[in-house]
Each structure stands twice: as C-alpha cells, then as structure tokens.
Amino acid sequence: MNRFYDLASLTKPLVTAPLALAFLDLDADRRWALGFHDREAPLTVRQLLSHGSGLPPWRPFTGESVAEQLRRPVPEHPLLRPATPGVATYSDLNYRLLAELLETETGVPFAKLGKASGLSPAPWLDTPIDVPDGPDAEAWTLATESPLPARDGHRPHDCNARAGMPGHAGFGTTAPQLHAALARWVASGWPDRMAVDTAEGENGARWGLGLQAAFASGGRFGQLLSRIPPGIGLHVLEDSSIDTPANAPNLDIAPRSASGWWFHLGYTGPALFYRPSDRSCLALLLNRRGPDGALLDAEALRARRWAILAPFVGQSSG
C-alpha cells in the first residue's frame, strides 16, 4: 500500500512557482491588479516568488483580498507580525497572490492548472495521517471573527488550505507519484530557474524564485548534503514512523557558506532538496505527528528529517 502525504508548502515550488514562471511576467507591476492602491513601491511576481514583497507571514483566508486584510490592525502573534523591513519574509500571502494572478491570466482554476504537476489536488480520495492544528489555528481566531474551517481528512491540514486558499498548499502525493512528478519537474528545468540568488531573507537566508539556499553551517541540512558526491540522481525517501528520533546536531544560528543545494520544507513534514550543478534531487516524505499524537515542534521535526537523510548520505558518500 502506498501511503498518502499532504505536501503542504511543497506546493509552492512544485506547483505554484513553475506555473508562475510559465505564465506570468516576472517584473510587471501588479499593485493595482491585486488591490494594493496605497502601496508606494511596485509589487512584482519576482518579489512574490522570492518572498521579497514586504508582506507579513500570514493572514486567514476568509474570501477577502490580501490588501483589504492588511488595512486592519491585528493582535501580536508570530504569524501576524509585520515583515522585517528590507529583507525577504517568508509568507504564504505571496503565493496566494500568485495563484490569483494565474487564475486571472489563464482563466483556469488554480487546482486544474496544478494537475499538470502530476500531484493530487484536494479534496483527496486517500487521506494522509491526521496532523494536529498548529499556530495557524490560534492566529486564525485572533485575526478574524470568521469561524475556523472544519477539519476534513480529505483536505489539507493547514487552516488556510482547508478554507480553499490556493497557491501555498493543497496538493498531496504517494511516494511513487512524487518520484514521477519530480522527474518531470527536473527535466522541465523549473528548479534551475528557481535556484537563482534573488533576495536576502531573515536570519541570513537567501531566497531564489521558489527555493531557498541550503547553507553548510553546523546542524543545517546543507552541511549533511555537501557530503553527497555528484550524479546521485533522483530519490524519494519515505519514513512513515512516528517514533521520536535522536536529536539532530546542534544548529549554528548564523549561516555561513552555501552548500550548492537549494531546498523547501513543508509544514506537515515533507522536504525537498535540489542541486543545480548536477540536477540531483532528494525528497523526504514523513509525518509531523509524534508518538503521543501531538504536533512535533520545529526542533523535533528537524531531528526526524535529519534521521531520514543521514543514512542515505552515509550510503551515498561511502
């Protein structure tokens, strides 16, 4: 039996970014089209792809436009905070706006456009392992009086995606399905176009047009991946366990040298890594639910990803 996984934000590089690169002008000013009539600076697809638009991390998807929501004050919460001035701030709103532009430009619903990826848009026939709600559920109740979307095993776990927010989540997969989709993704050249240093992000991050640079600093995935020799090809590593993994190495807070790999992570656990120099591609499929049924915190999730990746790296590097 092939286990089914909610890809969460891996929808961004696997579905939304390729569609944006295929259909949208990267540098046209989209302020007016997206309702940002009081914004002084241009708003471009390039900024949205690289999280350099200056938008905050998150707002609940209630049917209002992003511009309307941002005109209202919100309480303090990590997801509701303003963007960090002058640096790229990772934001689901960027990809929500990309989906709006894609639907406007093509006249085709985003989910239908996304089927070309080979991945499965929600609602799904198969259901992934249920993941408890995270900070987005708390932020939802702080930012709007609209009711929290009901949980549904056939829809994404993310509150916004449950409510129908396209662009940043909403696609799922089995391991064989993901392997086939990634083969097409790499062959089409999309990750090569995404892995281009475009914007400086928070905490020293470097963003391309849909992927983030992986650094070789201690405890970072780039440190581990740097040991992989050229030419390993494409691999999907699956771990359906919910056991508590051993701790990952201590994480150096400040990133240093780039590893040559680029990556993206999903809220529900999956991860994606790509090396442009030899077009090597690795994907991790795992669940963020711990043995007691609770949501793994960021450090425990890093440890689980490390525990899956480290044996593969060891085998590959000899």
* DSSP string of 115-163, one letter each residue: GGGTSEESSPSS-PPP----HHHHHHHHH-SSPPPPP-TTS-SSHHHHT
Residue 60 to residues 135, 158, 162, 220, 250, Cα–Cα distance (Å): 12, 11, 11, 31, 34
Q: pLDDT (tens digit, 9 = 90+) per residue, 271-311?
A: 999 999 999 999 999 999 999 999 999 999 999 999 999 99
Q: What are phi and psi of 283, to 5 degrees?
A: -130, 140
Taking the model in full, what pTM does it have? 0.97
Q: pLDDT (tens digit, 9 = 90+) per residue, 171-205?
A: 999 999 999 999 999 999 999 999 999 999 998 99
Mean pLDDT over all residues of the chain?
A: 95
Residue 318 has pLDDT above 70, yes or no: no
Region of 219 on the Ramachandran plot (φ > 0 left; ψ -120 to 50 alpha; else beta): left
| CA gap 119, 172 in Å, rounded | 6
Residue 68 has pLDDT above 80, yes or no: yes
Q: pLDDT (tens digit, 9 = 90+) per residue, 123-132?
A: 999 999 999 9
pLDDT at residue 267 in the model = 95
Q: pLDDT (tens digit, 9 = 90+) per residue, 2-25?
A: 899 999 999 999 999 999 999 999
Let me know if 196 is exposed, middle or buried by CB neighbors in 10 A (0-12, 13-18, 19+).
Answer: middle
Q: Name residue 207's beta-bridge partners.
A: 199, 212
Q: What is the DSSP letter of 199?
A: E
Q: Find tokens 């470097």 and name the residue.
A: 206
Q: pLDDT (tens digit, 9 = 90+) per residue, 10-65?
A: 999 999 999 999 999 999 999 999 999 999 999 999 999 999 999 999 999 999 99
pLDDT at residue 253 in the model = 80
- Span 209-235, average pLDDT: 95
pLDDT at residue 244 in the model = 78
pLDDT at residue 245 in the model = 80
Residue 26 to residues 55, 104, 113, 293, 296, Cα–Cα distance (Å): 17, 15, 19, 43, 37
Contacts 24+ apart (CB under 8 A), 199-203: 199/47, 199/50, 199/51, 199/52, 199/87, 199/88, 200/87, 200/88, 201/51, 201/87, 201/88, 201/89, 201/90, 202/84, 202/87, 202/88, 202/89, 202/90, 203/253, 203/254, 203/255
State the pLDDT confidence band at 161, using cuts at 50, 70 and 90.
very high
Nearest CA among 134, 107, 109 for reference residue 9: 134
Nearest CA among 202, 256, 219, 180 for reference residue 52: 202
Q: pLDDT (tens digit, 9 = 90+) per residue, 92-116?
A: 999 999 999 999 999 999 999 999 9
pLDDT at residue 246 in the model = 83
Q: Name residue 120's beta-bridge partners.
A: 172
Residues 7 and 266 sit within 8 Å (Cβ to Cβ): yes
Nearest CA among 9, 8, 104, 6 for reference residue 51: 9
